Structure 1
Amino acid sequence: MSEQNRSSGLAPDEQRRAVRRRYAQIASEESSCCSASDSCCDDQNELNNQLGYAESETTTVAEGANLGLGCGNPTAIASLQSGETVLDLGSGAGFDCFLAARKVEDTGRVIGVDMTPEMIEKARDNIGKNNATNVEFRLGEIEHLPIADEVVDVVISNCVVNLSPDKQQVFDEAYRVLQPGGRLAISDVVLTAELPDGVRGDPESVASCVAGASPVSELEQILSAAGFEQIQIESKEESKEFISEWDDDHDVSDYVVSATIEAIKPVH
């Protein structure tokens, strides 16, 4: 499959521009909110809890890394071990990378990839604030990862794959960089009902993690086509509580919910 494999009504280049524009603005404005409406910022601690982060996690990462942009906690499902190499797709300001770095310890390594220069700059500034000597951030698209073949143990991501206009290419790339036996542990949104035309073709809806979501069945097919096995996608109905606040004009929880996406690259 190619760039024709997309859920939104936007052309690929237009979708990338909309996403890059939104997250550049968030990085530049020092925002800690999950949407431009600020509606999810009233109680950041409650949001962190809803996303699955323990208080011990959110308080150990220096301020400025957690922008409240996720829809789950991928490090909670990744079973990270000391010494592993972790890749975060769409790493933003680095919050999940810094959590992963603590779990893989000094013998491990964490690489964050993001296509927004402003986010990369912000994340790199956060390395020193978190004394994260085993973390690095690289500018690049998740469809074309700046990573060598078979060097990663675990690929994580938090509400980013839905933003891509070519999800097959994303998972093909994840498969390429994973070592045999490596695993995928992703939090993302999945489509549960057909989107209205006005939402599907809206750049803001695409960039805010709604209009680019795919149904579970489609994601299963994409992962299988990439070569992954032991595919498990579990929807989180309780996520509707915070997703309903993502848009002031629509209750987008009628169309998308958060999910965990797990899979293994087989050993042949």
Structure 2
Amino acid sequence: MTQSKNRPNLTQTATPYNPENAVLERYQGGARQVEAALCCPTEYEANYLKILPREILEKDYGCGDPSRYVNPGETVVDLGSGAGKICYILAQKVGAEGQVIGVDFNDEMLALARKYQGEIAEKIGYQNTRFVKGKIQDLALDLEKAQAWLTEHPIAEIEQVSHFEAHCDRLRREAPLIPDNSVDVVVSNCVLNLVRPQDKQQLFAEIYRVLKRGGRAVISDIVCDEDPTPEIINDPELWSGCIAGAFREDAFLNMFEEAGFYGIEILTRQSEPWQVVAGIEFRSVTLQAFKGKEGPEWERNQAVIYKGPWKEVLDDDGHIYRRGDRMAVGHKTFQILCDRNGPYHPHVIPVEPYETIPLENAKEFDSQRSTTRHPRETKGLEYRETFTPENSDCCAPENSCG
């Protein structure tokens, strides 16, 4: 981790032009006419594509398929939803009990996505999608409401700018586009790299803000094996083409860690590069990261056993889990590690105490502790039971010992 933080990340360098304008212009063109160069070849689950209009299939650009990792009933936000392909796949996957919100700031892409809402709702039998105008690095500001205010209060003098900014702040507080802690999953398909370097830290903070505790981000994007050169960064065509703004692959994971996520995992990674520019390889990855490790730890005499195969592993908070050892954990960490919908449960064995300590009676757990828990802590100091094969079904036919 420390090695990557000590290496410069040139994607954070300011550009002599506005990347946002370069992206908007190119994707406006991509909404009017198919542009193959914007798309990294990706396989989607064919059964979900059957109902989608050809126009959406041809004019939606991406580099992966985060929709594969979404479940029925979930509320999902798609960052940079474009023509709506991922949203309409998700609409089928989350079902009538779920909800899908596409966020984009390109009017032409939004119009294309909204054009087919009624038709697709009729085909699947329910309406569970909506498309909203916003910047993915500012998910609180509803740009259509901001524009409506500007139409009624046009700015003619510089002093009026502060009135508009105050109204935008009011919208963020009182009518946020995506409220805090309201979303199960945030997905994105090759869009994070298009955000201006100076806005990328805010972008990750916004993803974290809108997710519920236990929610997750599933992001497909372009990464590179080395920092892009200044010549690459200063090329508007390469910026809008998902090259100049690509994350260095280790820095990409670090951005999620620094935003507070845990359980960060590379789900897929292109073996061969999508493009090579000036000797630097650019490829698609899909990553998953979870929210919800913040909060106090309580001592309830719980432990976990790491199954292996590594001799020991280190979690995002510096705790070590040695293979086969009963490692003492607090209540919050126990829940995270053993959550069947989380990333860790296949690798650990939960060890509950014989007598449950009510949460209201629990003492604070030392979060710096990274030691084993003695079996007597789990069983209780007064545990004296004798258990013999005569009253055990270990060797019953269905549980044969031999």
Could you state the TM-score of these two structures normalised by the residue count of structure 1? Answer: 0.82
Aligned match for 2:281, one of 255, 258, 261: 255
| Cα distance change of structure 1 residues 21 and 237 upon mapping to structure 2, 3 Å threshold | same
Please state whether the residue corresponding to 2:11 is helix, strand or coil.
coil
Q: Equivalent residue of 2:256, what SS?
A: helix
1:10–1:25 distance in 2 versus 1, CA, 3 Å: farther
SS in 2 for 1:130: helix
Mind listing any 5+ residue stretches in structure 2 that lack a counterpart?
1-8, 140-176, 296-402
Which one-letter code corresponds to 1:85 in the other structure?
T
CA distance in 2, matches of 1:159, 1:21: 17
Residue in 1 aligned with 2:386? none
Correspondence for 2:98 among 100, 108, 111? 108
Partner of 2:201, secondary structure, is helix
- Residue 34 (structure 1) aligned with residue 25 (structure 2): no
Q: 1:253 to 1:185 in 2, by over 3 A?
A: farther
1:99 has 2:115 as partner: no
How many residue pairs were aligned? 242
Specify the alignment match of 2:67 in structure 1.
75
1:163 and 2:154 aligned: no
Asked if the contact 2:224/2:280 (under 8 Å) is kept, the reply is no
Letter in structure 2 aligned against 1:134: N
Separation in 2, partners of 1:191, 1:16: 21
In the alignment, which of 214, 235, 239 is matched to residue 202 of structure 1? Answer: 235
Is contact 1:8–1:200 with CA below 8 Å preserved after alignment? no
Contact 2:10/2:227 (<8 A) preserved: no
Q: Distance in 2 between matches of 1:187 and 1:226?
A: 18
Q: How far apart, in 1, do the equivalents of 2:48 and 2:16 lie? A: 36
Please say if 1:52 is aligned against 2:43: yes
User: Larger relative CO (CA 8 A, sep 6+): 1 or 2?
Assistant: 1
Match of 1:266 among 276, 285, 292: 292
The worse-fitting range, judged by mean Cα deviation, of 16-25 and 67-76 is 67-76
Within 5 Å, which residues of 2 pair with 1:1-268? 7=11, 11=15, 14-29=18-33, 31=34, 33-35=35-37, 50-66=41-57, 67-76=59-68, 78=69, 80-131=70-121, 133-145=127-139, 146-165=177-196, 166-233=199-266, 236-238=269-271, 240=273, 243-244=274-275, 254-266=280-292, 268=295
Q: Which residue of 1 aligns with 2:353?
A: none
Q: 1:256, 1:201 → 2: CA distance?
A: 17
Deviation at 1:11, TM superposition (A): 3.5
Decide whether aligned partners of structure 1 residues 252 and 154 sit closer, same or farther in structure 2, where only a CA change above 3 A counts.
Answer: farther
- TM normalised by structure 2 equals 0.56
Partner deviation per Cα, 1:143-202 (whole Å, 9 max, x = no partner): 001211111000000000011112221111011000000011111011112434332210
Shifted more, 6-15 versus 229-238: the winner is: 6-15
Question: 2:60 touches 2:84 (CA, 8 Å); kept in 1?
Answer: no
The answer to whether the Cα contact below 8 Å between 1:108 and 1:134 also exists between their aligned partners in 2 is yes
Q: Which moved more, 1:172-181 or 1:196-205?
A: 196-205
For residues 92 and 100 of structure 1, the distance between their equivalents in structure 2, rounded to whole angstroms, comes to: 14
Q: Are residues 164 and 104 of structure 1, via their aligned partners in 2, closer, same or farther at CA, if it must alter by over 3 Å?
A: same
The whole-number CA distance in structure 2 between the counterparts of 1:227 and 1:8 is 20
Q: Equivalents in 1 of 2:10, 2:130: separation in Å? A: 30
- Once the two structures are TM-superposed, the CA of residue 9 in structure 1 deviates from its matched residue by 5.4
Partner amino acid for 1:265? K
What runs of 5+ residues in structure 1 fail to find an aligned partner?
41-46, 245-249
Query: Structure 1's 109 and 252: CA in aligned 2 closer, same or farther, altered over 3 A?
Result: farther
Equivalent pair of 1:94/1:126 in contact (CA under 8 Å) = no
Whole-angstrom CA distance in 2 between matches of 1:254 and 1:26: 26
Distance of 2:279 and 2:47 partners within structure 1: 29
- Give the letter for the 2:61 counterpart: L
Cα distance in structure 1, aligned partners of 2:36 and 2:263: 31
Alpha-carbon contact 2:60-2:82 (below 8 Å) kept: no
Counterpart residue type for residue 51 of structure 1? T
Contact 2:82–2:110 at 8 Å: present in 1 too? yes
Percent identity of equivalent pairs? 37
